[in-house]
Structure 1
């Protein structure tokens, strides 16, 4: 009976993992509603979970004498979580409620479009949108509601993003609004039992992990007291290379540079404020993004981004013949008649002056090239340079020189806005740079006087300029990854040969990890300061944080794990490379209202820390496989690596558990459901279940063998890759960053 129950539980768990993985692929091929109905919401899927839980309980009862109470708590937490999910599945209801100001409503539409009556009436008293100062970027959406019971008892409340209103088991979430601003769409959720039970399960799970990691008689603390770890093994040599700026698209400077302003005058132009991407920032930021968009680098032939932007503004005839627009795709280059990778502006036009890339665009490469071309008319028309703050209809807005100005402006102010840029151009032609700098200073003082609360503080302004100067991810990624690869090979080779590391090399390795870590710390702090939120809201930012976390773990683990420095450099380098190989330097934008939650930040931090530890486990497994080829799987060297891997798996799973279910709590506050079977949620659960299996060494004795453990750790990392990259770039979903 014991043997049957064990394999029944294990077999059903493996089937569940396979079904969930297949469902994410089917969802991509079919649609979300299909898998929600035929898989996740089906009777057989619920029955499969119940079968797995039932046989797990039977097996747990049969081996109860061998289980410690923290382990019992941990498994009981999972039972409670699944019970909560079952209660939500059976009794939970969700739908949408459309309200218009002053009109009472007592029914909402459920997921199937059927009307469901509520035991009270709701009236929308007022809907409002608050914006980031001086921009059109929404900061929050608020619905002021009045609720009336059948006995005429009345209540008032407010619903906004990440702020739920609760009444008699009903929960109301802000979801959308009407175009005229006089109506709101709310999500309605009724789940009297499931949420409370699920949250109790989450709390029990986190408490269980805390007790498990702190229990002196537990396996984690016994591993931590192992004499091999107490002695510690130092890390091997690592060459520290000073990072130099690399410009991917730049070519060697020559004497035929296009005309532009002197560096210091262009720098003064970059100190103006501009409304860009719905935020007020230094014009230097716009210049940098402009240059990156055109040539793929933040400089061109030794010219700064500000010189490139002002060159296009004031010396069009010179720059229109400069082949600096980087074109991707051979088909586009052929269509433009190019021999190399770079085009000039005139290459986009035929002999009659018409655009050579007519709509509709054939593919993404053509659309990207057309976007690069269209960026230049936006600059000439003034639509790109919204540098003048004015008061319009009672709100502060930023306009360009050719925009329609409010009627209340004085004649002098109107002339100043419409003629300043033209006068700058006249001064540029006359080479009167001193007068240009004086006019730029006057324009900046005008911005500071009129900009009011929309301007960043002077400290934040300078912080963003510093960030723009230091933000060079690709060279740091290449150096970090190269160093990690070299010293991973060297360290594993020395360890396999039984040779000790050199103390001086260890110190240099630690210095390199610290140097890269300090750089990333500075960049994350600056990016968070400038954006006004934790820098964890995009794929680029999460990869940067993962790189930083891996370096921090390398420093923490160094005394107990000889491969910590090489592995931390490898993980950090790969993470930086991924962030650099995506879209060129993702732009800083105001945070979407739904993402402005501390729960989201905690969710991302804990998950990224767990991924860093799981990446360590993968590279540790690779090292063990290399050492085993030379010294055998039963050697002490492999045993040491396995010991470290078993130790790291505990905090990795604890962090992943916290991260997943903190994310569920955030989703419940923001979206009205704590688990929606989104592809990333599914793959995160699969990752947790796959990595949980090796902890069951008593039930699954195969994991006591070093070879099985290490090979499994290498292959299990595929689930991490699927969770992050597979969902982002292949499967899609609400969590996709792509």
Structure 2
């Protein structure tokens, strides 16, 4: 009997089972995301998410969780906060189960002027429609999310007679692995029909019907989604799509519908749009998509009886998270008390810190050292001196970018000139001057070596000196042809993962050349609203093309208005030329005023305030996010080095120095806060809507974590500061887009501020765990008989690491499930196995396992915890970068083939493995009972 009890305890109430079970579950989810990327969501569901064994995993996890509750006897030890928090998982799993087995999801497609009373299921079935000679109809649907190699058997009673059906074979018909179209071979036994039939259909699509009939009965078979009839109809009166001004990007879309319920004698009008849901009866309708011709809408529909149970679980989880942090007997507070008893060290080096605040130098070759024609140099010097003051007026002119956003010209010039030259302050001019020169005097500027180039092979092809770091626009053209044409085509024909360094450099130079050409031709200088559409602003080139068409006798709408635009443009060019040549800028300023007046008269709704213009220009010029990189990194590195010195000397530094250091770190964080606030003000939305902004936010959260939670530990402060600097460095890498951009429709919600801010901040805390774990492993390497003080530092770091992980995991968990609420309120389901949310769940599981390893009784817990926190961070890297750039999904930035994995990732993995292995030999250090 005792053996049986021990077996039950081990199988259903032990972390030795629960932790491996969680690992298996998370591994299955990870595999499913790669299957989804290659073969589509339907295939991933068929192979993993909707399988019996995966559902069994859910059930086993639920039972194991309840069993651990019982065996832990946490209520006897008054661990009420822990019990309350973990009970939320029971509600969430139960709610998911109710939704999975008793709810359904589908799609409704309606064209304008039409109505519909059915939806198409998200699941795939073998659908059978039977009709006998008396006119009676029976319908059956057999769940059949089948792919190649699977089989299925089913017995039914149709009109009182047994029907036996067996799937013999499923074979894909398309070479495209994401195309689900397949052939299903079925053995049918329903006398007199006893034969094999073939059905063409597949997962997630409507199948082609196969009809069998005789004098007594008619049977129609199909394999695909099924129609679900509703007790009412939805009529689409009007579909409305709004785009951002001057672009094809959707700003919002909505469906004006009428609910027609003949039974209740109700006709209810409603407007469905993103984040605004139609609730009727037991159904919810969400704006999902639309037809390409914009004459029809696609609504997602769901019936979710598990919603309330799930939401209760979410509420308990959030409240339990707060309780865990505040509970005096909880792990977080006990770790905090442990740290108070430890000796921690600090340092402050103001001179080096403030030196780090200075503007970084650039190691770029000055193109003016290249041999230039004397006349060109003279003209450039004259242009440089004469245009400087005017550029401060010109940079305030509002332009419309290709995405439809209205912004000051300074922003456009800063982005384009930096991309072309890879520096600011080119030739001693500001970016606005360079842009003005390229646009006004293209023939001169095409001779200037200003296009950045670095590849030696490419330099050889273009016939320039190996020491030269720049080429002129004219260097890439010879005999009327584009020298790089074939090389560019070859690179574009290769998959991104197959491109070598030369291919990448060719494409990068080609992009810079095209950007320069667009400036020469005024393509980017869109300043004057179109007479046809005030939401679309025109460039001088577009205006000239219309006027030329008029001169050629072609019919031009709004001809008189276009002539007025031509006069404004001509006056502008003449006035600028006068200013450059004679240094008389009165007419040029009047020309700018004419442009501004025209904008105010014809497109007032799109204009931005003077304060926003000034704020955006200020942010561009100060460039806090770039100039803070070096100070943050210097603080982290130098603090770490000096702290190690004091550890070896077994000395501590005065508290006053620690406070002084925090003040300076606070100043750096204040600059970061101001810059984020300015970006929020300029864009009109929270600054964490894309990859670049989220990296800025992670840097801010990292620095704030040190100030708010770990201010007494120099090693923690060092790690947080270093992580903040590295995050800013990554944000400023070339593959990150720093431009302020318009929001896609679904992000226009208060949930952007709540969900994204919490989950992104969690990345900062978990990134801090990675750095703290790395430092701890390094400290293990430095252990020795004469260095006992290092052990105290390791224990302190372990406690801080665990506290940071608790905070990070709670925020990641709360943020992920709040994202589920957002999804449910936006498009009708709080979980859809999208790769981003799935990998966030995987990360929750990974860090949940790490935090519970101490219950397994390992003796060398500081070493195990440090190594685990380092390895665990790779799940965050996959969640943040891997999903965004290598997997498909609604959170993904990837397009087509994935980008090649950066080389530094391989070195990072090897470095981590080397650190873990080498520190293994000095791992013997237990963690005291806390």
**TM value normalised by structure 1:** 0.92
Pair 1:278-2:404 in alignment: yes
Residue 889 of structure 2 aligns to a residue whose secondary structure is coil
Kept after mapping to 1: 8 A contact 2:106/2:121: yes
Pair 1:399-2:512 in alignment: no
Tell me the equivalent position of 1:58: 67
- Structure 1 range deviating more: 503-512 or 213-222: 503-512
Q: 2 CA distance for matches of 1:583 and 1:328?
A: 17
Kept after mapping to 2: 8 A contact 1:104/1:124: yes
Pair 1:172-2:285 in alignment: yes
Kept after mapping to 2: 8 A contact 1:492/1:626: no
- Find 1:413's aligned residue among 564, 575, 584: 564
Kept after mapping to 2: 8 A contact 1:128/1:141: yes
Deviations 1:236-281 (CA, angstroms, capped at 9, x unpaired): 2343124333475843374865724521123322221111131111
CA positional deviation for 1:344: 1.4
- Find 1:481's aligned residue among 621, 633, 636: 633
Kept after mapping to 1: 8 A contact 2:260/2:268: yes
Tell me the equivalent position of 1:85: 96
Tell me the equivalent position of 1:3: 10
Deviations 1:352-393 (CA, angstroms, capped at 9, x unpaired): 244632574523544443333233443344432111124425
- Structure 1 range deviating more: 320-329 or 599-608: 320-329
Deviations 1:509-536 (CA, angstroms, capped at 9, x unpaired): 3243223212211211111111110011
Kept after mapping to 1: 8 A contact 2:275/2:825: yes
Residue 258 of structure 2 aligns to a residue whose secondary structure is strand
Pair 1:72-2:83 in alignment: yes
Kept after mapping to 1: 8 A contact 2:647/2:790: no
Residue 362 of structure 1 aligns to a residue whose secondary structure is helix
CA positional deviation for 1:167: 1.4
Q: Which sections of structure 1, spanning at least 5 residues, go unmatched?
A: none
CA positional deviation for 1:734: 2.5
Pair 1:369-2:509 in alignment: yes
Q: 1 CA distance for matches of 2:775 and 2:712?
A: 16
When residues 355 and 429 of structure 1 are mapped into structure 2, their CA distance, relative to the original with a 3 A threshold, is: farther
Tell me the equivalent position of 2:758: 606
CA positional deviation for 1:576: 0.4
Tell me the equivalent position of 1:471: 623
Residue 833 of structure 2 aligns to a residue whose secondary structure is coil
CA positional deviation for 1:67: 6.6
More strand by share: 2
Kept after mapping to 2: 8 A contact 1:176/1:184: yes
Deviations 1:619-672 (CA, angstroms, capped at 9, x unpaired): 222333333332469933322222333333332222111111111112223333
Residue 210 of structure 1 aligns to a residue whose secondary structure is helix
Kept after mapping to 2: 8 A contact 1:265/1:433: no
Q: 1 CA distance for matches of 2:888 and 2:719?
A: 30
Tell me the equivalent position of 1:701: 857
Kept after mapping to 2: 8 A contact 1:496/1:627: no
CA positional deviation for 1:124: 0.9
- Structure 1 range deviating more: 314-323 or 18-27: 18-27
Tell me the equivalent position of 2:644: 492
Q: Which sections of structure 2, spanning at least 5 residues, go unmatched?
A: 1-5, 123-203, 206-224, 493-503, 547-555, 895-930
Pair 1:444-2:444 in alignment: no
Q: 2 CA distance for matches of 1:215 and 1:455?
A: 51
Tell me the equivalent position of 1:519: 671
Pair 1:351-2:485 in alignment: no
CA positional deviation for 1:45: 1.2
Q: How many residues align?
A: 735
CA positional deviation for 1:687: 1.7
Structure with max Cα Rg:
2
Deviations 1:107-155 (CA, angstroms, capped at 9, x unpaired): 2333323333222111111222345567665432121110111324221
**TM value normalised by structure 2:** 0.74
CA positional deviation for 1:47: 1.0
Pair 1:557-2:712 in alignment: no
When residues 472 and 518 of structure 1 are mapped into structure 2, their CA distance, relative to the original with a 3 A threshold, is: closer
Pair 1:385-2:525 in alignment: yes
- Structure 1 range deviating more: 346-355 or 284-293: 346-355
Kept after mapping to 2: 8 A contact 1:697/1:704: no
Q: 1 CA distance for matches of 2:33 and 2:455?
A: 31
Deviations 1:42-92 (CA, angstroms, capped at 9, x unpaired): 211111221222233223323334572322222221121112222222233
When residues 458 and 584 of structure 1 are mapped into structure 2, their CA distance, relative to the original with a 3 A threshold, is: same
- Mapping for residues 117-196 of structure 1, pairs under 5 Å: 117-132=229-244, 137-151=249-263, 152-188=265-301, 190-196=302-308
Deviations 1:305-362 (CA, angstroms, capped at 9, x unpaired): 1111111112222211212112465665555445444321112212224463257452
When residues 30 and 298 of structure 1 are mapped into structure 2, their CA distance, relative to the original with a 3 A threshold, is: farther
- Structure 1 range deviating more: 540-549 or 336-345: 336-345
Residue 281 of structure 1 aligns to a residue whose secondary structure is strand
Tell me the equivalent position of 1:43: 52
Provide the alpha-carbon RMSD of the alignment: 2.9
- Mapping for residues 523-562 of structure 1, pairs under 5 Å: 523-562=675-714
Tell me the equivalent position of 1:510: 662
- Structure 1 range deviating more: 410-419 or 453-462: 410-419
Residue 449 of structure 2 aligns to a residue whose secondary structure is coil
- Find 2:869's aligned residue among 713, 726, 735: 713
Residue 244 of structure 1 aligns to a residue whose secondary structure is coil
- Find 1:202's aligned residue among 268, 293, 314: 314
Residue 97 of structure 1 aligns to a residue whose secondary structure is strand
When residues 93 and 417 of structure 1 are mapped into structure 2, their CA distance, relative to the original with a 3 A threshold, is: farther
Kept after mapping to 2: 8 A contact 1:633/1:707: no
Tell me the equivalent position of 1:244: 358
Q: 2 CA distance for matches of 1:508 and 1:265?
A: 44
Q: 2 CA distance for matches of 1:300 and 1:347?
A: 19
Kept after mapping to 2: 8 A contact 1:327/1:342: yes
Kept after mapping to 1: 8 A contact 2:440/2:573: no
Higher RCO by CA contacts (8 Å cutoff, separation 6 or greater): 1
Tell me the equivalent position of 2:164: none
Kept after mapping to 2: 8 A contact 1:617/1:714: yes
- Structure 1 range deviating more: 586-595 or 618-627: 618-627
Deviations 1:419-464 (CA, angstroms, capped at 9, x unpaired): 2343245425643532323323333333334331211011111111
When residues 85 and 327 of structure 1 are mapped into structure 2, their CA distance, relative to the original with a 3 A threshold, is: farther
